[in-house]
Amino acid sequence: MSEGFSIIVPFLNEEETIGKFCVEIDQYAKTVEFPIEVVFVDDGSKDRSVDIIKKYVFSNIDSAKIVRLSKNFGSHAAIRAGIKNIRYGMCTWFGADLQDPFEIISIAFDKITNGGVDIVCFGRTSTDVPALTKLFSGIYSRLIRKYAVERYEENGIQTIAYNKKVIDYLNNNVEANSSIGLQILNAGFDMETVLMDFKAREAGKSKWTFSKKVKLAIDSFVSYSFLPIRLVSIVGMMLFIVGVVGCGFTVVYKLLNPLVPAGYSTLICVLALGFGTTNISLGIIAEYLWRTLEAARKRPAFIISDLISCKVREKMKIEMIS
């Protein structure tokens, strides 16, 4: 890997924005003094996104390619597939929706090259975020910092840039059903945080659905924290204590008041509470067992079906003979 910067762009059905992304990243490349490579990763798109990229001719990008996955594996798996196919020793990932400012590239390059850090985390300073999204994002960040990865940023992380040391670590430790961001932070490499103003999506619909957010939250805690499984034990102990106290109170009360009828409603509430807690506990345990099974199967986190080189206009070299 030589000195340059690779950008991984995972996308899924982004025909509304991918063409403009190609134009803007190509224009930005001529403003920096180091070569830039773009690795597009098609995460199972069904629209014209790939065709749009294939038709575009890059003028300032040093290299561009498309990594096509056999199906939709998710954005984190797509990023891992991109990392496997980069040529440079510095890397980050961008969304194809044009929300990430391209200045991230030059900032990261400078801090990794001259600042001596391995990781540069980029967080959001934008205030135009829906209140509900901001609330849940804040809760997620606080829980992750307290119970999973202490180095996770308080305001969340939008993207991460990293050097060859981290690239090699990720390529040698490909994790399925895991957060690549948390994996990087949890490794303990030297890092620095930069807050920036990220843009709003210009067109198209976000593929970051509620179900994917829930899956990420579950993957984050199950992969990097023992809290869920510890919670099962705590809840079990609490219910056991409540049960013992309740039974003692019931026996004493019955002895003091023999005519008190049996409480069917109380029995139903206790059964509902007990069975509900048991099922939740079994569900948490099942999440860990499922991931253990996935790891034992050693199924790939992604499958690359095709690797396509994009059109890049060769830079003309003019020699002046005096």
Please report, for the domain that includes residue 61, its CATH number. Answer: 3.90.550.10
Say which residue, 71 or 245, is predicted with more confidence.
71
| Residue 117 and residue 31 in one domain | yes
Instruction: Report how many helices (DSSP H) and strands (DSSP E) the chain contains, helices first.
Output: 10, 10
| Residue 176 and residue 254 in one domain | no
Q: What is the pLDDT of residues 207-224, one digit of tens each?
A: 666 677 777 777 777 777
| Residue 105 and residue 237 in one domain | no
Are 43 and 72 within 8 A, CB to CB? yes
| Residue 195 and residue 241 in one domain | no
CA distance 59 to 23: 10
- Residue 269, pLDDT score: 62
* H/E segment holding residue 65: strand 63-69
pLDDT at 101 over 70: yes
| Residue 61 and residue 86 in one domain | yes
- The structural domain count of the chain equals 2
Mean pLDDT on 281-286: 76
Whole-prediction pTM: 0.75
**Two structure tokens written together for 79:** 């990023």
| In-domain check, residue 186 | no
| In-domain check, residue 318 | no
Mean pLDDT on 150-169: 88
CA distance 66 to 41: 6
Q: What is the pLDDT of residues 173-206, one digit of tens each?
A: 988 878 898 899 988 899 999 998 887 777 667 6
pLDDT at 34 over 80: yes
| Residue 172 and residue 32 in one domain | yes
Residue with tokens 């990781």: 119
Neighbouring-strand partners of residue 66: 40, 308
How many Å is the maximal CA-CA distance in the chain?
117
Mean pLDDT on 27-44: 94
Structural domain including 275 reads 227-297
| Residue 177 and residue 267 in one domain | no
Are 124 and 196 within 8 A, CB to CB? yes
| Residue 90 and residue 198 in one domain | yes
pLDDT at 236 over 80: no
Sheet holding 159-163, edge to edge: 191-196, 119-124, 159-163, 90-93, 5-11, 36-42, 63-69, 304-309
pLDDT at 245 over 50: yes
- Residue 128, pLDDT score: 65
Mean pLDDT on 302-311: 87
| Residue 273 and residue 171 in one domain | no
Q: Which of 95-104, 146-155, 300-309 has the lowest mean pLDDT?
A: 146-155
